[in-house]
């Protein structure tokens, strides 16, 4: 995971994914089903790799050095 290219947040990540600017998405284990479904659709439609994390959103935020929870992040191209 390249922290310099990491886009944090569901809205920003999904928007950039639809624009073809994301090559990989990281999804926290406790992501809501509707977010998970949208990520899976974009993954299949646009060929974006999805990494399903074992960490929940709080643990994921700590892992990437943020003081808040993170459900979804994307790695830009």
Instruction: Report pTM.
Output: 0.91
Ranges assigned E (strand) in the chain: 6-8, 22-27, 49-52, 72-76
The domain limits of the chain are 3-76
**pLDDT (tens digit per residue) in 62-76:** 999 999 999 999 999
Q: What is the pLDDT of residues 9-64, one digit of tens each?
A: 999 999 999 999 999 999 999 999 999 999 999 999 999 999 999 999 999 999 99
Q: Could you please state the CATH topology (level 3) that the domain comprising 3-76 is classified under.
A: 60s Ribosomal Protein L30; Chain: A; (3.30.1330)
**Rounded to whole angstroms, what are the CA distances from 49 to 4, 24, 62, 66, 67?**
18, 5, 22, 23, 26
């Amino acid at each position: 995971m390249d922290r310099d290219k990491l886009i944090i947040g569901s809205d920003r990540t999904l928007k950039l994914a639809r624009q073809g600017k994301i090559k990989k998405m990281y999804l926290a284990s406790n992501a809501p089903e509707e977010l998970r479904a949208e990520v899976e659709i974009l993954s299949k439609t646009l060929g974006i790799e999805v990494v399903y994390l074992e960490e929940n959103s709080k643990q994921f935020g700590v892992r990437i050095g943020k003081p808040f929870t993170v459900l979804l992040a994307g790695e830009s191209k």
